[in-house]
Amino acid sequence: MQNIYFYIMLGSVFLSVFLIILFSGMPKIVKPTDKKRMDKLDYYQMPYSREEKKIPSFMERVVLPFFGKIAAVTKRLSPSNIVENTRRKLELAGAYERISVDMYLAIKLLFPVGIFFLDIIIFIFFPTSLLVKIILLAFIPISYFFPDIYMSSKISGRQTEIRKTLPNALDLLTISVEAGMGFDHALARVAGNIKGSLGDELNKMLHEIQLGFSRKDAFRNLNRRTEVEDLNTFIVLMIQAETFGISVGKVLRVQANEMRTKRRQRAEEAGAKAPVKLVFPLIFCLFPALMTVIIGPAVIRILGVLAQMSSP
């Protein structure tokens, strides 16, 4: 019986560690290879090496098919639109090129399995109360939504980053256009100088234009990949300027001023909310310590006097 417990514990620990490493490192493992670099390497290869059949890696032969089967089970147990919603989340989080939909769904299903084995280890080797057991069992279905919570935080952080970077990008774009650059050239200059998510999205937009997409479709795809309200306003105005022949420089100047005003208003709003948010930390953290320091000595003296009065 002890051998069975040992093997269950060993398998549970292995699965838990595997899930943690997988969820944290899989995006880096499956990160797509730089195509330009591969094309250069292929160009300098010998002719006979080009005809050699490539041997699939362990990831392609074992890991990815395994995740595909688990994802198929998740699709059958989930609503019909789970694939489209998952693809949308990965796209908004900027992780669609690093992790596939099947892999994400497989990770979601493996989380409850890992928590289940972890609960078995805790129940067998650690004495726990009934309340703790109920809480641990409740974590099994709840853990299915852990990847969604993490992805939602990534989406929110990415949108906030784009919203903060947009005014500077519009200022640089306005200066470049008013200096005489073409809009696409100025946009490429901005994409090269602006780091982070906004720069990456602008580079994707320029790449779509080079592939043959119209500027209007590329702007709409940019809006679909970000869903940032300020960026959506800028995109709508640029589409209207292109449709009706309005001067792009004037539109950019007005939009840049508006974005700076919105950024200042958000900062003022956050500053106005700060005192309200500090009320509960002050009450529950600072106020008890302050009252202890101020009233504590007086309470000790009062108790000492009362003790002396009550003693014969």
**pLDDT above 90 coverage of the chain, percent:** 30
**Count of all residues that appear for the chain in the document:** 312
Which tokens belong to 113?
Answer: 């399995």
The pLDDT of residue 50: 47
The identity of residue 143, as a single letter, is S
Contacts of 90 (CB under 8 A, 6+ apart): 96, 99, 101, 104, 151
The pLDDT of residue 203: 93
Most confident of 25-29, 67-71, 259-263: 259-263
Whether pLDDT at 298 is above 60: yes
Whether pLDDT at 8 is above 70: no
Cα separation, 268 vs 14, in Å, equals 50
User: What is the pTM (predicted TM-score) of this model?
Assistant: 0.72
Q: What are the tens digits of pLDDT across the range 221-247?
A: 999 999 999 999 999 999 888 888 888
| Of 81 and 187, more confident | 187
Whether pLDDT at 152 is above 90: yes
What mean pLDDT do residues 273-293 have? 87
Please give the full DSSP string across 115-170, using - where no structure is assigned: HHHHHHHHHHHS---HHHHHHHHHHHHHGGGHHHHHHHHHHHHHHHHHHHHHHHHH
Is residue 259 a contact partner of residue 165, using CB atoms and an 8 Å limit?
no
Q: What are the tens digits of pLDDT across the range 41-82?
A: 444 454 444 445 566 676 667 667 777 777 777 777 777 788
Query: Exposed e or buried b for every residue in 149-180, given b needs 16+ CB within 10 A?
Result: eebeebbeebbebbbebbbbbbbbbbbbbeee
The CA-based dihedral angle spanning residues 35, 36, 42, 45, taken in that order and rounded to the nearest 10 degrees: -140
Range in 49-63, 272-286, 291-305 the model is least confident about: 49-63
The pLDDT of residue 159: 94
Residue written as tokens 């106020």? 287
Is residue 237 a contact partner of residue 255, using CB atoms and an 8 Å limit?
yes
Please count the other Cβ atoms lying within 10 Å of the Cβ belonging to residue 115: 22
Query: Of 3, 19, 7, nearest to 120 (Cα)?
Result: 7
Q: For residue 9, what pLDDT band results from cuts at 50, 70 and 90? A: low
The pLDDT of residue 247: 84
The pLDDT of residue 31: 46
Q: What are the tens digits of pLDDT across the range 199-229?
A: 999 999 999 999 999 999 999 999 999 999 9
The pLDDT of residue 54: 65
Whether pLDDT at 38 is above 60: no
The pLDDT of residue 231: 92
16 to each of 12, 51, 71, 112, 176, how far by Cα in Å? 6, 42, 19, 10, 52
What mean pLDDT do residues 287-311 have? 84
Q: For residue 19, what pLDDT band results from cuts at 50, 70 and 90? A: low
The identity of residue 40, as a single letter, is K
